[in-house]
C-alpha cells in the first residue's frame, strides 16, 4: 500500500518550533516506567508495558491524574529525573523543537519523601546538556498542585528559595474543579515579588471564570489550555486585545474528554478570533503523542491551512520567554523555511 503524505505534513515536521506546555512527569513512557521500577525496586500494579498502555483510558482530568501520580512513584534518584528529561529532549529534537518551557511538580515528589533538591538537580542538568549537545534552549516552570493547600504551596516555595536561579517561573496544575486560581492569590503575589513569572492552567475542564481569575488575581502571563474561553465573548475579546497566549494541547483535550472528537476542537476558532494560541503535547506519554503528532493530528482533523499552521508556530515563539532577539531569529527562520518549501 502506498501512503502519500499530505504536503502540509512536511511543513509541520520541518519547521522549528517552541513547546510551552509539557509536564516532564507526563513524558514518562511505559518502557521507562518499567526500567525505573526495576532499577529502584518499586512494585507496579501492571504485568507489562502493554498493560500500562491499556490502562490509559480516561474519562476526565482526575481519572488521568490518579494514574499520572502513581506512575511518578518510580522516579527516585537525581539520575532518574535526568534520564526522564533527556529522553524528552531527544524526542523534542526529533520533532524540531528548538526551545522548550517545561513544567515539573515538586510536591508530587516531596510528598513521597524525595528531597526537594533531587528532581530539580536531575532536570536542570539534563536541560543544560540539552542546550549544549542538542541546541535546545529551555526554561523551567515549577508548578504548584492546586488540590493541595495554600500552606503547602508556601512551604514548597520556601524549599525552592535556595534554587530560584534555576527556576524561571511558577505554574498551577492538577485537579481544576473546586480549586480556583483565587485559592493561590497570595502565593502568586509572593512569587511575583521574587521575580518569578507566572502561568496557570485554567479553562481546561474548569469554567471561563477561572481564566479571569488567573489573569486578574495571579497575573498569569499565559493561560495553560484556556479552551473554555470561547464560552465567554468578553473574555475572548480581552485575550485577543492582550495577545494573551493560550497553550493549547489538542490530544490531551481529546484523551481527557474535554472534546468528544478532535474535529470538534476550537483551535481554528481561537486563531480566527486573533488569539495567540499554539499547540503543545501536555503529557505526551499518556495522551498518544508528542508535539508533531499533535500538529499532524490537528492538520488532518481540522483541515488546517498552511497559514494557520505557520501562525501556530509563530505564536509558539511569540508566547515564549525567549528574548525579543531570539524570537525574531526563530520567526525569521520559520519564514525562510516556508519560502524554501514553496519554491
- Contacts to Zn ion by CB under 5 A: 282
Torsion on CA atoms 143, 88, 13, 20, rounded to nearest 10: 10
Q: Closest by alpha carbon to 135, among 89, 179, 178, 170?
A: 89
Regarding 27 and contact with ligand ADE (CB under 6 A), the answer is no
Regarding 19 and contact with ligand ADE (CB under 6 A), the answer is no
Regarding 253 and contact with ligand ADE (CB under 6 A), the answer is no
Does 48 count as an annotated binding residue?
A: no
Chain positions 68 to 87 lying near ligand ADE, rule: CB under 6 A, are 68
Interface with ligand ADE (CB under 6 A), residue total 11
Min dist CB 338 to ligand ADE, Å, is 31
Q: Indicate if 204 belongs to the active site.
A: yes
Regarding 308 and contact with ligand ADE (CB under 6 A), the answer is no
Q: Among 282, 294, 320, 327, indicate the residue that binds ligand ADE (CB under 6 A).
A: 282
What phi and psi values does residue 200 have, to the nearest 5 degrees? -155, 140
Other Cβ atoms within 10 Å of 135 Cβ, number: 10
Min dist CB 199 to ligand ADE, Å, is 12
145 DSSP β-pair partners:
173
Query: Which of Zn ion, ligand ADE, none sits in contact with 308, Cβ below 5 to 8 A by type?
Result: none
Does 265 count as an annotated binding residue?
A: no
Min dist CB 199 to Zn ion, Å, is 10
Regarding 252 and contact with ligand ADE (CB under 6 A), the answer is yes
Q: Among 73, 107, 108, 174, indicate the residue that binds ligand ADE (CB under 6 A).
A: 174
Q: Which residues contact 66 (CB under 8 A, 6 or more apart)?
A: none
Determine the Cα–Cα distance for residues 241 and 167; give it in Å rounded to an integer.
Answer: 29
Among 204, 205, 213, 308, the active-site one is: 204
Min dist CB 224 to ligand ADE, Å, is 7
Does 124 count as an annotated binding residue?
A: no
Determine the Cα–Cα distance for residues 43 and 92; give it in Å rounded to an integer.
Answer: 30
Regarding 204 and contact with ligand ADE (CB under 6 A), the answer is yes
Regarding 61 and contact with ligand ADE (CB under 6 A), the answer is yes
Q: How far are the Cα atoms of 23, 61, 171, 215, 225 from residue 181, in angstroms, in the given order?
A: 19, 17, 11, 9, 14
Q: Closest by alpha carbon to 159, among 125, 121, 115?
A: 115
Q: Pinpoint the alpha helices (H) of the chain.
A: 7-14, 30-40, 49-55, 61-71, 78-94, 106-110, 117-129, 150-160, 185-193, 208-216, 233-241, 250-255, 267-272, 284-287, 291-302, 306-318, 324-342
Regarding 255 and contact with ligand ADE (CB under 6 A), the answer is no
Nearer CB in complex with ligand ADE: 16/206: 206
Cell digits of residue 8: 502540509
Residues that bind ligand ADE (CB under 6 A): 23, 26, 61, 68, 173-174, 201, 204, 252, 282-283
Active site residue ranges: 204
Amino acid at each position: 500500500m502506498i501512503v502519500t503524505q499530505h504536503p502540509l505534513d512536511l511543513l509541520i515536521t520541518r519547521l522549528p518550533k517552541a513547546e510551552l506546555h509539557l509536564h516532564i512527569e507526563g513524558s514518562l513512557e511505559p518502557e521507562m516506567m518499567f526500567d525505573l521500577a526495576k532499577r529502584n525496586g518499586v512494585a507496579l500494579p501492571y504485568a507489562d508495558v502493554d498493560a500500562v498502555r491499556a490502562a490509559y483510558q480516561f474519562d476526565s482530568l482526575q481519572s488521568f491524574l490518579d494514574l499520572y501520580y502513581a506512575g511518578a512513584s518510580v522516579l527516585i534518584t537525581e539520575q532518574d529525573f535526568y534520564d526522564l528529561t533527556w529522553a524528552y529532549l531527544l524526542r523534542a529534537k526529533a520533532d524540531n523543537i528548538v526551545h522548550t518551557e517545561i513544567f515539573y511538580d515538586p510536591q508530587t515528589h516531596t510528598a513521597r519523601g524525595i528531597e526537594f533538591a533531587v528532581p530539580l538537580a536531575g532536570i536542570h542538568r539534563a536541560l543544560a546538556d540539552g542546550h549544549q549537545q542538542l541546541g535546545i534552549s529551555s526554561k523551567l516552570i515549577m508548578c504548584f498542585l492546586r488540590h493541595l493547600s495554600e500552606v503547602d504551596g508556601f512551604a514548597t516555595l520556601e524549599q525552592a528559595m535556595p534554587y530560584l536561579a534555576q527556576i524561571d517561573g511558577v505554574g498551577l496544575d492538577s485537579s481544576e474543579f473546586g480549586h480556583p486560581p483565587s485559592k493561590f492569590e497570595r502565593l502568586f503575589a509572593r512569587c511575583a515579588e521574587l521575580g518569578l513569572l507566572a502561568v496557570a492552567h485554567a479553562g481546561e475542564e474548569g469554567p471561563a471564570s477561572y481564566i479571569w481569575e488567573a489573569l486578574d488575581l495571579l497575573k498569569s502571563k499565559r493561560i495553560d489550555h484556556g479552551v473554555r474561553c470561547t464560552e465567554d465573548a468578553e473574555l475572548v475579546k480581552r485575550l485577543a486585545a492582550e495577545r494573551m497566549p493560550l497553550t493549547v494541547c489538542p490530544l490531551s483535550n481529546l484523551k481527557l474528554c474535554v472534546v468528544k472528537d478532535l474535529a470538534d476542537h476550537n483551535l481554528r476558532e481561537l486563531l480566527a478570533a486573533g488569539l495567540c494560541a499554539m499547540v503543545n503535547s501536555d503529557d505526551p506519554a499518556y495522551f498518544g503523542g508528542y508535539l508533531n503528532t499533535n500538529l499532524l493530528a490537528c492538520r488532518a482533523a481540522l483541515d488546517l491551512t498552511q497559514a494557520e499552521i505557520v501562525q501556530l508556530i509563530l505564536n509558539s515563539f511569540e508566547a515564549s520567554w525567549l528574548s525579543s532577539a531570539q524570537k525574531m531569529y526563530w520567526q525569521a527562520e520559520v519564514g525562510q523555511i516556508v519560502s524554501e518549501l514553496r519554491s
